[in-house]
């Protein structure tokens, strides 16, 4: 069993390595007479792991001696005892069990379940995994994370070295909470390639584990870790494009945009694996996408609104007298056929827009036209907002002028306005309308293109 023995973990309060070579099995035997120390399995950023046999219970265990010079530090001893008790209470089939803990001769140690198998790093080797294998590993890891997160425990160091697979293929998370145990709140701990952006700054919650699992999934699918600008896995290897949504959502730099719980990530993975088996890579079909009909219908309905306005702003003039006459036949026809649809267009177009946004986001790439859908959903709400701003400023400008001049508030009809009056009203109106519309469109667009749960 290899536990956390390859990738270097950042250890707050210590340099992350022992200052001297690890104790030999013989030296460990003198310090732990209740165990038969069999061999040193290896060492890593957070300690040295020994394989041992617990004499009283006749079982194999793994003893991890924590890295760092903690001897004589009462504060660490107190925190170690408190955190280790919490870890020992974790009982989940996908978490390596902590049987015991303690301190002897300045060495803080954990006695853990011995897992006879390999870690994910060894399984990956120098390449990637088949998508089916990768997706089989994610759900049990999510289960374990959800269980621990519900108890307020964050792993803080999810990586291939800490994901173990026993001989029966069961996945177990090792070193649960050890990075937290050796690092106080606000300290930076973890393994850099797998650390969420906020973890680099010492802020950690459950979403940091979800980010790290996203890095692991990316690595399993592509054989490499994501760069600063994350490229969708399907652009590197031939996999189901729906996996892009899962990976990119987990790797969002903003924790608010990630999966907010490991159970949600598991559900989306199982939805993909449950709906269809991923075909062989060279036979993988490219899904055909089509434009959302709902979005198109909303845009047409919006056009009907503006066409229906024509009879309202068109008059027929009698040539001889110059006076307006009754509506022409085509105006009457437009009024009776299009006016009812035009009146309902603001509400109808907006509803169709948001319905199509939801359909496109949940179509897993089978529908496109998100821009048209957002246009439908925002067109009339923004027009109404712009109108309200224009009306407000129409009275606000003369009101401010009356305060400046000390005169009464008596807004003149716009028909009597001079060019200066129009400029005083139009320029701030256009500026405020443009800023308000830009801010709303930006917020809505970012939300609309976010992968759906």
Query: Would you state the pLDDT for residue 413?
Result: 76
Query: Would you state the pLDDT for residue 2?
Result: 45
Q: Are 36 and 53 in contact (CB under 8 A)?
A: yes
Using pLDDT thresholds of 50, 70 and 90, give the confidence band for residue 209.
very high
Largest CA distance in the chain: 120
Set 157, 175, 209, 244: catalytic member = 157
Using pLDDT thresholds of 50, 70 and 90, give the confidence band for residue 357.
confident
Residue 157 bears catalytic tag: yes
C-alpha–C-alpha distance, residues 180 and 189, integer Å: 7
Question: Which pTM does this prediction carry?
Answer: 0.58
- All residues at 6 or more sequence positions from 343 whose CB lies less than 8 Å from its CB, including other chains: 308
C-alpha–C-alpha distance, residues 111 and 131, integer Å: 35
- Quickly tell me which residue has 């990738």 as its tokens: 7
Residue 299 scores a pLDDT above 80? yes
Q: What is the pLDDT of residues 111-120, one digit of tens each?
A: 999 998 888 9
Query: Would you state the pLDDT for residue 259?
Result: 92
Note the helical H segments in 113-205.
120-124, 131-150, 178-182, 197-200
Query: Would you state the pLDDT for residue 433?
Result: 92
C-alpha–C-alpha distance, residues 164 and 263, integer Å: 20
C-alpha–C-alpha distance, residues 40 and 141, integer Å: 27
Q: What is the pLDDT of residues 402-415, one digit of tens each?
A: 777 776 766 777 77
Range scoring the smallest mean pLDDT among 203-212, 332-341, 388-397: 332-341
C-alpha–C-alpha distance, residues 108 and 61, integer Å: 16
Q: Are 353 and 292 in contact (CB under 8 A)?
A: no
Query: Would you state the pLDDT for residue 276?
Result: 41
Domain 117-283 carries which CATH code? Answer: 1.10.510.10
Q: What is the pLDDT of residues 241-256, one digit of tens each?
A: 889 999 999 999 998 9
Query: Would you state the pLDDT for residue 142?
Result: 95
Note the helical H segments in 23-162.
25-31, 74-88, 120-124, 131-150
Query: Would you state the pLDDT for residue 144?
Result: 93
Alpha-carbon distances of 226 from 145, 195, 306, 389, rounded to whole Å: 22, 12, 48, 45
Q: Pick 357 or 287 by higher pLDDT.
A: 357
Residue 317 scores a pLDDT above 50? no
% of the chain residues with pLDDT over 70: 77
Query: Would you state the pLDDT for residue 438?
Result: 94
- Quickly tell me which residue has 């987990």 as its tokens: 250
Residue whose C-alpha is closest to residue 3's, from 104, 101, 122, 91: 122
Query: Would you state the pLDDT for residue 84?
Result: 82
Q: Are 112 and 101 in contact (CB under 8 A)?
A: no
C-alpha–C-alpha distance, residues 63 and 411, integer Å: 84
pLDDT, mean of residues 172-176 = 86
The terminus-to-terminus CA distance of the chain in angstroms comes to 36
- So what's the architecture of 25-113 in CATH? 2-Layer Sandwich (3.30)
What is the number of other CB atoms lying within 10 angstroms of the CB of residue 366? 14
**Domain residue ranges in the chain:** 25-113, 117-283, 290-448
C-alpha–C-alpha distance, residues 208 and 272, integer Å: 23
Query: Would you state the pLDDT for residue 178?
Result: 67
C-alpha–C-alpha distance, residues 169 and 228, integer Å: 33
Query: Would you state the pLDDT for residue 33?
Result: 92
Residue 16 scores a pLDDT above 60? no
Using pLDDT thresholds of 50, 70 and 90, give the confidence band for residue 279.
very low
Q: Pick 396 or 345 by higher pLDDT.
A: 345
> Are 25-113 and 117-283 equal in CATH topology?
no
Alpha-carbon distances of 187 from 13, 200, 372, rounded to whole Å: 9, 9, 46
Residue 320 scores a pLDDT above 80? no
- Quickly tell me which residue has 């006879």 as its tokens: 116
Query: Would you state the pLDDT for residue 102?
Result: 87
Using pLDDT thresholds of 50, 70 and 90, give the confidence band for residue 280.
very low
Range scoring the smallest mean pLDDT among 82-96, 221-235, 267-281: 267-281
Query: Would you state the pLDDT for residue 177?
Result: 63
Residue whose C-alpha is closest to residue 156's, from 11, 371, 38, 280: 11
Residue 286 scores a pLDDT above 70? no
Compute, in degrees rounded to 10, the torsion defined by CA atoms 78, 84, 85, 90: 160
Token pair of 327, please?
């509506």
Range scoring the smallest mean pLDDT among 59-73, 142-156, 207-221, 325-339: 325-339
The number of C-alpha atoms within 13 Å of 275 and in the hemisphere containing its C-beta is 10
pLDDT, mean of residues 308-317 = 59
% of the chain residues with pLDDT over 90: 28
C-alpha–C-alpha distance, residues 47 and 44, integer Å: 6
Q: What is the pLDDT of residues 47-95, one digit of tens each?
A: 789 999 999 999 999 998 886 655 556 667 777 787 788 788 889 999 9
DSSP conformational letter for 224: S
């Amino acid at each position: 069993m290899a536990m956390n023995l390859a990738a270097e973990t950042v250890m707050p309060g210590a340099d992350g390595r022992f200052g001297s070579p690890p104790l030999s099995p013989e030296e460990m035997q003198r310090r732990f007479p209740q165990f038969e120390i069999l061999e040193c399995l290896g060492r890593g950023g957070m300690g040295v792991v020994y394989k041992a046999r617990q004499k009283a219970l006749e079982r194999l265990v793994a003893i991890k001696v924590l890295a760092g010079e903690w001897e004589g530090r009462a504060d660490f001893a107190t925190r170690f005892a408190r955190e280790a008790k919490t870890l020992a209470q974790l009982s989940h089939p996908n978490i390596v069990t902590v049987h015991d803990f303690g301190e002897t001769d300045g060495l803080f140690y954990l006695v853990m379940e011995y897992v006879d198998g390999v870690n994910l790093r060894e399984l990956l080797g120098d390449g990637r995994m088949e998508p089916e294998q990768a997706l089989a590993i994610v759900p049990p890891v999510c289960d374990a994370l959800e269980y621990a997160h519900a108890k307020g425990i964050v792993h803080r160091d999810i990586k291939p070295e800490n994901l173990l697979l026993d001989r029966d293929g069961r996945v177990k998370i090792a070193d649960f909470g050890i990075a937290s145990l050796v690092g106080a709140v606000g300290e930076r701990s973890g393994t850099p390639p797998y650390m969420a952006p906020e973890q680099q700054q010492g802020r950690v919650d459950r979403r940091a584990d979800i980010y790290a699992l996203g890095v692991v999934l990316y690595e399993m699918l592509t054989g490499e870790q994501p760069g600063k600008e994350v490229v969708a896995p399907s652009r590197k290897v031939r996999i189901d494009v729906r996996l892009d949504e899962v990976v990119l959502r987990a790797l969002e730099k903003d924790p608010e945009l990630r999966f907010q719980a490991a159970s949600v990530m598991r559900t989306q993975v199982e939805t993909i694996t449950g709906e269809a088996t991923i075909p062989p890579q060279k036979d993988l079909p490219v899904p055909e996408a089509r434009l959302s009909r709902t979005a198109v219908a909303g845009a047409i309905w919006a056009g009907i609104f503006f066409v229906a306005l024509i009879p309202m702003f068109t008059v027929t003039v009698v040539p001889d007298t110059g006076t307006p006459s009754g509506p022409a036949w085509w105006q009457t026809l437009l009024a009776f056929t299009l006016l009812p649809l035009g009146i309902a267009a603001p509400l109808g177009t907006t509803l169709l827009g948001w319905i199509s946004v939801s359909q496109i986001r949940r179509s897993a790439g089978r529908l496109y036209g998100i821009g048209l859908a957002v246009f439908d959903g925002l067109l009339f709400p923004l027009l109404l907002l712009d109108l309200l701003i224009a009306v407000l400023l129409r009275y606000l400008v003369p009101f401010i002028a009356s305060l400046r001049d000390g005169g009464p508030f008596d807004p003149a009809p716009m028909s009597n306005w001079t060019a200066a009056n129009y400029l005083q009203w139009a320029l701030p109106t256009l500026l405020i309308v443009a800023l308000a519309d830009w801010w709303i469109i930006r917020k809505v667009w970012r939300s609309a293109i976010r992968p759906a749960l």
